[in-house]
Structure 1
Amino acid sequence: MSLWLRASSCFSVVVALGEARAVTGGMMADEEEEAKQSVQLLQELVDQLYSFRDHYFETHPVEYASQKHQDVREEMEKTLHKMEEAVGYSQEKAWVLMLTGKALNVTPDYSPQAEELLSKAVKLEPELVEAWNQLGEVYWKKGDVAAAHTCFSGALSHYKNKVSLQNLSMVLRQLRAETGEEHSRHVMDSVRQAKLAVQMDVHDGRSWYILGNAYLSLFFNAGQNPKISQQALSAYAQAEKVDRTASSNPDLHLNRATLYKYEENYEEALEGFSRAAALDPAWPEPQQREQQLLEFLDRLTSLLDSKGKVKAKKLQSMLGNLRPAQLGPCGDGRYLAASGQKVALELKPLSTLQPGMNSGTVVLGKVLFSLTTEEKVPFTFGLVDSEGPCFAVTVYNMVQSWGVLIGDSVAIPEPHLRRHQIQHKGKNYSFSCIRVETPLLLVVNGKPQGSSSQAASTVAYRPQSE
């Protein structure tokens, strides 16, 4: 029997029973008790189905990840069959419809049968909040974000509950916005709803995970504030702490790895992409992200080691053209520090830089190569001076048209240095990198960069199955 026939069968039984009650004048007390027990049994069957899905990797090794989707579908079929057998005399038609729709909604795929049954459930009992939440999730899978938003908002109008708050937070970030300002308001409201969900139950891992995603979205829409980045990472960590199933969520690993990559925690990013791919082999994005990052590191370290494959004679000629005048405002005491004070910077070789912020220092070198990623952020180039090794420089928050050319002279005030030692799947990478948060900090060929060179970065993350 097909899933739709089973679901329809459950619904038909409920309708027939309702008609029978109309003829007989209702049920006796013992029949009412039997009806309650029937609904309770249906609830237990659906709860067991969702527990099978959510705790799959507690009973199956990760090597079975490729079978999870099929195993869940088979468990759904078994559950629907048991539910069909368990439907008895019940005055709770809306509950039976809701539970049947919820069972059909256990997979990540959109189910038109679930939509029909849940729609009937909310019409029969408009205050059945769980039916509204399930119907909202069906619309979300269908791609009808506006309808999903209506469902979750409607559920909250009946009573405050964490599931509606979680889902509303998720949907708000995907609502269509006419302007960037409107989208920013949606993101801020998304954070607020997620916080409310956490406050309702601090032990709910899904609430913490969705709060992490809300902070992640806020981070990329509000100037990449490091404090917000740490809030996102803390929320993800808390999700794993309070809910052991969170560690089996491939979306959490991918979204957190995206943040790690932006923060240049490359080893953690690679591990996160790899873990997400292992947990959901049918989802190509984690493996693609992992491979793209490995290719970026391969190309970068190769170019650094070969100094951009620039021949020695040409390199010597380029370095001979470095002049103090190319420091611009960094060389004449006009540099404005983060404190707001004008300070004099000391020109030092790249080789003398220490990990972290090198206050009171400026470096000057020649560009040997440039490198862009699929996401266009960051813009990466190699910088060398007369003292020796080539350093990577990563620049964020620039417009796509901005860049530097081979042979350009670049001065970097108070450079922030990181020495990378990365190991992943038998590969090893070692290099030094200067991170620059905005091109406005750079002086190129003696000229400060104008405000037109800066733009807020954007990044994609997977919201569909939060």
Structure 2
Amino acid sequence: MAEEEEENPQALQSWQELVDQLYRFRDHYFESHSVENAGKKQQDVQEELERTLQQMEAIEGLPRTRARAMMLKGKALNVLPDYSAQAEELLSKAVKLDPELVEAWNHLGEVYWKKGDVSAAHTCFSGALGHCKNKASLQNLSMVLRQLPVSPGDEHARNVMDSVRQAKMAVQMDVRDGRSWYVLGNAYLSLFFNTGQNPKISQQALSAYAQAEKVDPAASCNPDLHLNRATLYKYEENYMEALGGFSRAAALDPAWPEPRQREQQLLDFLDRLASLLENKGKVKGKKLQSMLGSLRPSQLGPCGDGSYQGPLGQKVALELRPLSTLQPGVNPGAVVLGKVLFSLTTEEKVPFTFGLVDASEGPCFAVTVYNMAQSWGVLIGDSVAIPEPHLRHHHIQHQGKSFAFPGIRVETPLLLVVNGKAQGSRSQAAATVAYRAQSE
């Protein structure tokens, strides 16, 4: 049963205004502070919380045991990114006194999320929606669904699809809410990596992130948004945009080490790759000539005998072409054959990257292979044929560094022919992604 009317609605309204002001201070911090102050944000929010609590206590005439009063104080304590046991206690009491107090359910769910109890958070957000459909519960439920523990036999993709549905409903309730668009972007990002990396879905994720920034200036100051979008940019080999996103996330949250680490890892990868490509894997001239001289048409395997199957399952006749003649984008009807001069591994393991040269003795091309099993790879000296190669000329500039090289992207090792042999199904595995989705 809901609580009786508050004895002092003016005092209650004053508490509400103080808490709203506290959250405005946190969410719009960079509208009144420069990015250079990002390292002080959490301390400033902590100090603002302490002032808010003092001001709340100074207001008389409000029974502290009422559900709404406990909800407001619990909400105030929940403003920080860390778990608060006091917030959990107050919000738990508030929902027991007034089970229809949806805002209390939402904040209690966020507290459980911060505590690491994802199942309890899911129960809170679902319960809130049972009382009243609201965008905050839909946003949070969308995020929690992707984090729920999955038992053997369950399909994580089903939760991800449901996550997208919840985020879409939140957007429909208020198309001007930047947080809803951000959550939808994360849902699409997860869907992209769980359902075969459909380019249309990655574009939907990028569009949702862009819309979040368009409708809400505060979204541009969300470090999670920049890191998550940069993760997608990196996978799509939009390296300059990825580096910019990691750098922006690091600037907005200096205490969060991951963005700076990811930025440095990508810079190190590009640095090593560019050096190996330029030096052709440091393979000496005579050895290189010997390797290239051993290339034979028989090493094309199914790509040379007319049995290669195109993306629609049709038989495709392929023409052997030099790497230097490839055009940007997909090269239909073409196949290239070359020798592996080096391979490059990273901490993330994906993609598997190697350098390829052919008999035309042109530049060394970077080949990036995705969705491969961890045990899969190629060795220096292997002959590799790539049907209908997808070429991109990379030109990257970031913080005084520049990289330029030709790259061929291969979505699965199943498309490759190594030493005349097609690759079996064991060579393939699904890609994984690491991104952050906080409850705030």
Q: CA deviation at 1:375?
A: 1.1
Does residue 1:461 correspond to 2:404, yes or no?
no
Deviation at 1:206, TM superposition (A): 0.4
CA distance in structure 1 between the partners assigned to 2:218 and 2:19 by the alignment: 18
- By how many angstroms is 1:109 displaced? 0.7
Which position in structure 1 is the counterpart of 2:214?
241
Give the C-alpha shift of residue 179 in structure 1: 2.9
Does residue 47 of structure 2 align to residue 80 of structure 1?
Answer: no
* Post-superposition CA distance 1:191-214 (Å, at most 9, x none): 111111111111110000001001
Match of 1:372 among 345, 351, 376: 345
1:436 corresponds to: 410
1:91 offset after TM fit, Å?
9.3
Kept in 1: contact 2:356–2:366 (CA 8 A): yes
Alignment of 1:102-251 (within 5 A): 102-179=75-152, 181-251=154-224
Contact 1:375 1:459 (8 Å CA) reproduced: no
Structure with the larger helix share: 1
Cα distance in 2 for partners of 1:432, 1:87 equals 70
Q: Secondary structure of 1:41's partner?
A: helix
Report percent identity of matched pairs. Answer: 80
Of residues 264-273 and 213-222 in structure 1, the stretch that sits farther from structure 2 once superposed is 213-222
For 2:386, the equivalent position in structure 1 comes to 412
> Displacement of 1:326 after TM fit?
0.5
* Correspondence list, 1:46-57, <5 A: 46-57=19-30
Aligned to 2:275: 302
Counterparts in 2 of 1:244-393, with a 5 A limit? 244-387=217-360, 388-393=362-367
In structure 1, give the amino acid aligned to 2:383. Answer: S
Deviation at 1:147, TM superposition (A): 0.6
CA shift digits 1:66-112 (9 cap, x unpaired): 00000000000000000111241459811110000000000101000
Alignment of 1:30-69 (within 5 A): 32=7, 35-69=8-42
User: TM-score, structure 1 length as denominator?
Assistant: 0.92
**Secondary structure of residue in 2 paired with 1:411:** strand
Structure number with greater Rg is: 1
Counterpart CA distance in 2 for 1:363 and 1:169 is: 44
Report the Cα offset of residue 56 of structure 1. 0.4
Counterpart Cα distance in 2 of 1:217 and 1:267: 22
Partner of 2:400: 426
Q: SS of 1:96's equivalent?
A: helix
Unaligned runs of 5+ in 1: 1-17, 19-25
Q: Secondary structure at the match of 2:354?
A: strand
Q: How many corresponding residue pairs?
A: 437
- Offset at residue 342 of structure 1 (A): 1.1
| Distance in 2 between residues matched to 1:185 and 1:365, nearest whole Å | 42
Give, as a single letter, the amino acid of the residue that structure 2 aligns with 1:188. M
Tell me, yes or no, if the aligned pair for 1:251 and 1:465 is still in contact at 8 Å. Answer: no
Residues of 1 paired with 2:129 and 2:60: CA distance? 30
Kept in 1: contact 2:340–2:378 (CA 8 A) = yes
Q: Say which SS state the counterpart of residue 237 (structure 2) adopts.
A: coil
> For residue 12 of structure 1, what is the aligned residue in structure 2?
none
Distance in 2 between the 1:374 and 1:112 partners?
Answer: 37
1:341-372 C-alpha deviation (Å, 9 max, x unpaired)? 21211111000111001111000000000011
Supply the RMSD in Å over aligned alpha carbons.
1.5
Residue identity opposite 1:76 in structure 2:
L
Q: Is the 1:36–1:90 Cα contact (8 Å) retained in structure 2?
A: no
Q: Kindly state the Cα deviation for residue 465 of structure 1 after the two structures are TM-superposed.
A: 4.2
Q: Distance in 2 between matches of 1:323 and 1:273?
A: 44
Q: Does 1:97 align with 2:61?
A: no
Q: 2:62·2:69 contact (CA, 8 Å) conserved in 1? A: no
The Cα shift of 1:339 comes to 3.5
Residue equivalent to 2:375: 401
Q: 1:6 is matched with which residue?
A: none
The whole-number CA distance in structure 2 between the counterparts of 1:121 and 1:394 is 54
Which residue of the partner structure matches residue 10 of structure 1?
none
TM-score (norm 2): 0.97
Retained in 2: the 8 A contact 1:165–1:194?
yes
* Distance across 2 between alignment mates of 1:234 and 1:219: 13
Q: CA deviation at 1:180?
A: 6.1
Q: Distance in 2 between matches of 1:365 and 1:400?
A: 23
- Of 411, 421, 428, which aligns to 1:447? 421
1:100-131: CA deviations, max 9, x gaps?
Answer: 00000001010001001111111111100000
Structure 2 gaps, min length 5: none
Deviates more, 1:213-222 or 1:243-252: 213-222
